Amino acid sequence: MFKLRLGLIVFLGILQFSTLVLARENPRLTPVVKAIEKTAPGVVNVYTQKIEERSFNPFDSFLGNPFWEELWPEFKQRVQTQSLGSGFIVDAKNRYVLTNAHVIEGGTSIKVRLLDGREFEADLVGSDPDFDLAILRLKGKGEIPQVTLGNSEDILIGETVIAIGNPYGFGHTVTTGVVSALKRSIRTQEGIFTDFIQTDAPINPGNSGGPLINILGEVIGINTAIYKNAQGIGFAIPINKAKRAIQELLQRGYVQPVWLGVSGQNLTPQIAAYLGLKEVRGLLLTEVYPQKPADLAGLKPGDVLLQINSYLIEDKDQYIDLLRNFTSLEKVKLKVWRKGKIFSLSTSLAPFSQKEALELLAKRWGFGVRKSGDKSLVVEQVFPGSPASRLGLQPGDVLLKISGVRIKTQEELALLFSRLRLKNTVLLLVLRGDRAYYVRLRI
């Protein structure tokens, strides 16, 4: 009996060793295949249910005639739709999934499917449109795999990369390519997004939120966007940038805005010429707030901020857009023009807290607000001589929208102000009594 057991153990050992040898010698097990086998179990398909309101008119054949159009206005219909995307498990213990914010935006319910066929409902933990990142938590129980996060700081142009995702709802799909370029910027209607990895690995609708991995099976990016007017141009968020955002998404549900602690204005040809600048480009600092990063770094009113890291500053709008790509306490390099010379310096970025935002709003726009009920902000005070006072804003007015964005809480107001704080004009929708009206606040 002992000899039989010993023989069985030896046989199994030889079989396992032979399998390993054959695996090593199998030319089909390329580094790409091994990377996919390592990472794919931790990649998920994301399905989001949304309720959309669509307009339709049952009398389309009569349209074109003002009489019929007035008689039969458009009807509104609520329609349930489904959006597709991808994601990957970054923390199996806490069941966290990382994906793109636009994948789950407006979703009423979220379902996640793993490679092994299991499906889970998911809750939204945090989301930030500026970083286009979102964290989900899978419901239910059971062990789940997770991916290995790599380092996007040492990516090589030309190195092989692999995209895994859910294009057009086809489930786990793999495409390969190379890193085409680094630190790409994309301008959209929402602003400027920076630091993208550019790849020619095919990325299609549904790939959004899925991982871009190297041949070691390490996630180095999050597939995010495709360039509609070309083939072979896709973009991914570097994983190191995502790592900086994940902690804030888990802590507060969004990434807190940052600032240098300055106010500024655009250059005019006359001001640029007076300062000795050859180009009308940059942010002219008009105020530097005490004990903020700019002040601590030695910046002064009258300096012209020309560059943040490798990104040129065209004007104050672009300056604000660029800051939306950074997290608090992150180091940046600045190029500054002062008295005919350019100098460089490094400084950190500070959180632009809700308290600071509302205090600066009161100073710059000239009013304070309070919460009223569940769905509105009411003007509490208007400061004499301020833009709000000159406009005729009054205590008791209800703020419905600012620059087309609906606001219901002080937190939402502070976040919106962080983007609009250097604007010279903002459009307000104000409710006074039972009548709403649009007014322009000129700062």
Q: Which residues contact 125 (CB under 8 A, 6 or more apart)?
A: 96, 134, 135, 136, 137, 249, 250, 253
Examine the pLDDT at 67 and tell me if it is beyond 50. no
Mean pLDDT for 254-275 is 95
Per-residue pLDDT, 188: 75
Per-residue pLDDT, 167: 83
Instruction: Identify residue 157 by its one-letter amino acid code.
Output: I
Examine the pLDDT at 79 and tell me if it is beyond 70. no
The top-scoring range by mean pLDDT among 8-17, 72-81, 112-121, 327-336 is: 112-121
What is the percentage of the chain residues whose pLDDT exceeds 70? Answer: 86
Per-residue pLDDT, 11: 44
CB 105 within 8 A of CB 135: no
Catalytic sites, residue numbers:
102, 132, 208
Examine the pLDDT at 18 and tell me if it is beyond 60. no
- Same fold for the domain at 42-138 and the one at 148-252? yes
Lowest-pLDDT range of 29-33, 56-60, 201-205, 437-441: 56-60
Domain edges within the chain: 42-138, 148-252, 258-351, 354-442
Per-residue pLDDT of 19-61, as tens digits, reads 555 455 688 889 999 999 999 999 999 999 876 555 555 555 4
Listing DSSP states for 264-283 in one string gives EEE--HHHHHHHT-SSS-SE
Give the CA angle between residues 96, 100, 102 to the nearest 5°: 130
Per-residue pLDDT of 113-123, as tens digits, reads 999 999 999 99
Examine the pLDDT at 71 and tell me if it is beyond 50. no
Give the CA angle between residues 104, 105, 109 to the nearest 5°: 55
* Assigned fold of 258-351: Pdz3 Domain (2.30.42)
The CATH number that domain 148-252 falls under is 2.40.10.10
DSSP state of 352: -
Architecture (CATH level 2) of domain 354-442: Roll (2.30)
Per-residue pLDDT of 314-339, as tens digits, reads 999 999 999 999 998 789 999 999 99
Examine the pLDDT at 102 and tell me if it is beyond 80. yes
CB 84 within 8 A of CB 207: no
The CATH number that domain 42-138 falls under is 2.40.10.10
Residue with tokens 């597709």: 84
More confident residue, 73 or 328: 328
Residue whose C-alpha is closest to residue 46's, from 171, 174, 202: 171
